[in-house]
Amino acid sequence: MTRRALSLRVYSFHEHPNTERLMTTLHHSLWRALGLSLLALTPFVMPGAQAQPAAPALEAPAGRAAKQAGTAARDMVAAANPLAAQAGREILAAGGSAIDAAVAVQLVLNLVEPQNSGIGGGAFIVHWDGSDVVTLDGREVAPAAAKPERFLGRDGKPMPFYDAVVGGRSVGVPGTLRLLEVAHRRWGKLSWPQVIAPAMRLAEEGFAISPYLNGIVTQDKYLQNDPIARTYFYGEDGKPKPVGTILKNPAFARTLREIADKGADAFYTGEIAADIVATVTRHTTNPGDMTLRDLEGYKVEERAPVCGSYRTYRVCGMGPPSSGGVAVLQMLSTLEPQDMASIRPGPDAAHWISEAGRLAFADRALYLADPGFVSVPVRGLIDPGYLKTRAGLVSPDKSMGRAKAGDPPFQKTEFRFAPSDGVEFGTSHISVVDRDGKAVAMTTTIEDGLGARIMTRSGFLLNNELTDFNFAPEEEGKPVANRVDTNKRPRSSMAPTLVFDADNKLYAVVGSPGGSQIITYVTKTLVGILDWKLDPQVAVDLPNFGSRNGPTEIEAGTEAEAWKSALEAKGHQVRAISMNSGIQAIVIGPNGLTGGADSRREGVAIGN
């Protein structure tokens, strides 16, 4: 059995408020145990896993498989599925830009990893064109009819999570396709039909169902209730189509052809739009209220990038409505006074990173939401003076337990603290660097694995992103920042990130799925690359650990479990849980590109 399989044993039910989510988590561990066991048995080889010349890589932990790692001279793509990464690589080889590759990768992911992202969902792009960082927000939007009480039951209390998720109620107006189009118009080199072609070909000719997709469908109990999804994902015997089955999606091929001919308008108006609205509003048990006007009115927003320094580096990420960029910068800033390079991976590192997480998550819960509805004090939250005071709250010897939100300068809030965080799986991250040194970090989601469990006739699943809003609109009689509202975007944790060196040269492209854990995963990886000088594959595969201002979480089945007693001695309440990241990282060194794709999922980093 692999080390990952151990997480099956260390779980206990009361660790999870929601048993169904636990089952999802368990399933992921199982999938990993089965799907990756061969990899784990092979001796540790890292094709091209090279040390940065100035910074020797640490020894790779024993037994760690790294088939995912890659090196390249000119360009690279790291994505969560080999077919998707290959599509991106072909586009790059044909002279395409980073964004051309990202479009191809996303559309192929929609087919081969449909549980995690697609044109039925939303995404953020952080783009580097060689001189500027631009961040684009393609987050889903609540329909005009959405009200703050959307996720309250008849008793006025927040609904059970899956009562809200499954069906039309949780579906936000999808943003991913408009985002791809806007980005492609701005930075694309190849034609729009050219970047769509790889996905269209695969949709027509079919692709083999992967262990990950099969595993997710097998464990899910809602998807089979959707008639279109049932025909697509299940055999005539009612069982999920097995691993290796060649799956064709002619409906999606037609959709892509329309989109190739008419652009994203083909999706946001006309027949496909009508199909989306019908799928959402005609759901038999939990209909939603999305309209054609909602779809037609969807807009991608360009947001100010959130940038800050970490040691000699500059780190840039996604601002609100994502909490990702702010929280990652806050965590790094809390770590900066420590000599993380000599602390090394271990219980002390877990202590500092957990405490940094507590502080960041306390602020996140109070302040972060859609900036169109709430005045988010971004400037104050990443103000160096403020962060220095916050970092001063961390003791080297004792955990602070639960952190309180701070009082950042420049702005006051009228909102109430409202924690609500699950661990979701319906997300994917794409990192690309092209031959001109342009880069894309794109994190893309349909929220929970398999989203709202409803599939359109046009061949794609719809998101359940609206459950990223807080269900309870008020706490202690005051509104919570991330409550549902008309045309509002739910708060995200997605943290597509770019790192620049002291000469403002692009150094790294990083991101991950994992719900609110994303913030921890990305921070860990950045510390691994920037402080511990690890090869990106090794940094990605380090055990996950951190805190979201609750218990200190360590990844079950990894060597981090051995850190438990040292952490407890500092007063941490430690929980070993599955921490199923899907980090994709590319580092640009003087001799080319080195990439890593999370061995917890199916990704690869490949290039030319």
176 binds ligand GLU (CB under 6 A): no
In the complex with ligand GLU, the residue whose CB is nearer, 113 or 336, is 113
451 binds ligand GLU (CB under 6 A): no
370 binds ligand GLU (CB under 6 A): no
319 binds ligand GLU (CB under 6 A): no
In the complex with ligand GLU, the residue whose CB is nearer, 458 or 580, is 580
- Among 176, 445, 520, 523, which residue sits at the site for ligand GLU (rule: CB under 6 A)? 445
**Spatial distance between the Cα atoms of 534 and 262, rounded to a whole number of angstroms:** 45
In the complex with ligand GLU, the residue whose CB is nearer, 97 or 578, is 578
| Phi/psi of residue 473, nearest 5 degrees | -75, -20
In the complex with ligand GLU, the residue whose CB is nearer, 60 or 518, is 518
- Name the CA dihedral angle for 22, 27, 29, 33, rounded to a multiple of 10 degrees: 160
Question: Using CB under 6 A, which residues numbered 516 to 535 contact ligand GLU?
Answer: 518
Q: Where are the alpha helices (DSSP H) in 382-500?
A: 384-391
**Spatial distance between the Cα atoms of 568 and 590, rounded to a whole number of angstroms:** 42
Q: Can you read off the two tokens belonging to residue 359?
A: 């502080």
Closest CA relative to residue 418, chosen from 372, 465, 374? 374
Cα separation values, 419 from 378, 475, 516, 548, Å: 19, 10, 11, 10
Asked if 84 and 105 count as a contact pair (C-beta separation under 8 A), the reply is yes
Asked if 218 and 262 count as a contact pair (C-beta separation under 8 A), the reply is no
Active site residues: 427
Cα separation values, 318 from 209, 442, 511, 555, 576, Å: 33, 10, 11, 26, 29
545 binds ligand GLU (CB under 6 A): no
| Phi/psi of residue 439, nearest 5 degrees | -145, 150
Question: Using CB under 6 A, which residues numbered 208 to 247 contact ligand GLU?
Answer: none
Q: In Å, how far from its chain's centre is CA 115? A: 13
- Among 492, 544, 594, 599, which residue sits at the site for ligand GLU (rule: CB under 6 A)? 492
Residue count of the chain: 608
179 binds ligand GLU (CB under 6 A): no
113 binds ligand GLU (CB under 6 A): no
In the complex with ligand GLU, the residue whose CB is nearer, 381 or 466, is 466
Residue 466 CB, shortest distance to ligand GLU, in Å, is 10
Q: Can you read off the two tokens belonging to residue 141?
A: 């939007």
Residue 504 CB, shortest distance to ligand GLU, in Å, is 29
Which of 52-60, 262-270, 382-390, 512-520 is the region at the interface with ligand GLU (rule: CB under 6 A)?
Answer: 512-520
Which of 73-81, 176-184, 398-406, 420-428 is the region at the interface with ligand GLU (rule: CB under 6 A)?
Answer: 420-428
Q: Can you read off the two tokens belonging to residue 449?
A: 């694995």
In the complex with ligand GLU, the residue whose CB is nearer, 446 or 554, is 446
- Among 513, 595, 596, 603, which residue sits at the site for ligand GLU (rule: CB under 6 A)? 513
Residue 421 CB, shortest distance to ligand GLU, in Å, is 9
Number of residues that bind ligand GLU (CB under 6 A): 14
447 binds ligand GLU (CB under 6 A): yes
444 binds ligand GLU (CB under 6 A): no
The amino acid that residue 351 corresponds to is: H
Q: Where are the alpha helices (DSSP H) in 434-535?
A: 517-526
Residue 518 CB, shortest distance to ligand GLU, in Å, is 6
The amino acid that residue 364 corresponds to is: R
Which of 211-219, 395-403, 412-420, 509-517 is the region at the interface with ligand GLU (rule: CB under 6 A)?
Answer: 509-517
**Spatial distance between the Cα atoms of 292 and 297, rounded to a whole number of angstroms:** 8
In the complex with ligand GLU, the residue whose CB is nearer, 97 or 463, is 463
Annotated binding site for L-glutamate: 139, 468, 492-493, 515
300 binds ligand GLU (CB under 6 A): no
Indicate the helix (H) or strand (E) that contains 293: helix 292-296
- Among 140, 355, 424, 598, which residue sits at the site for ligand GLU (rule: CB under 6 A)? 424
**Spatial distance between the Cα atoms of 420 and 560, rounded to a whole number of angstroms:** 26
**Spatial distance between the Cα atoms of 26 and 40, rounded to a whole number of angstroms:** 19
Asked if 103 and 196 count as a contact pair (C-beta separation under 8 A), the reply is yes
Residue 176 CB, shortest distance to ligand GLU, in Å, is 12
Q: Coil, strand, or helix at residue 261? A: helix
Which of 15-23, 372-380, 423-431, 519-527 is the region at the interface with ligand GLU (rule: CB under 6 A)?
Answer: 423-431
**Binding mask of the shown chain, residues 452 to 471, with x at each position contacting ligand GLU by CB under 6 A:** ----------------x---
425 binds ligand GLU (CB under 6 A): yes
Q: Where are the alpha helices (DSSP H) in 206-290?
A: 211-219, 227-233, 250-262, 265-268, 270-281
In the complex with ligand GLU, the residue whose CB is nearer, 301 or 424, is 424
Handedness of CA 262, 113, 13, 401 (dihedral sign): negative
Handedness of CA 76, 78, 82, 87 (dihedral sign): negative
Which of 166-174, 513-521, 539-547, 588-596 is the region at the interface with ligand GLU (rule: CB under 6 A)?
Answer: 513-521
Residue 269 CB, shortest distance to ligand GLU, in Å, is 26
| Phi/psi of residue 483, nearest 5 degrees | -80, 165
Q: Under the rule (CB under 6 A), what is the footprint of ligand GLU?
A: 424-427, 445, 447, 468, 492-494, 513-515, 518
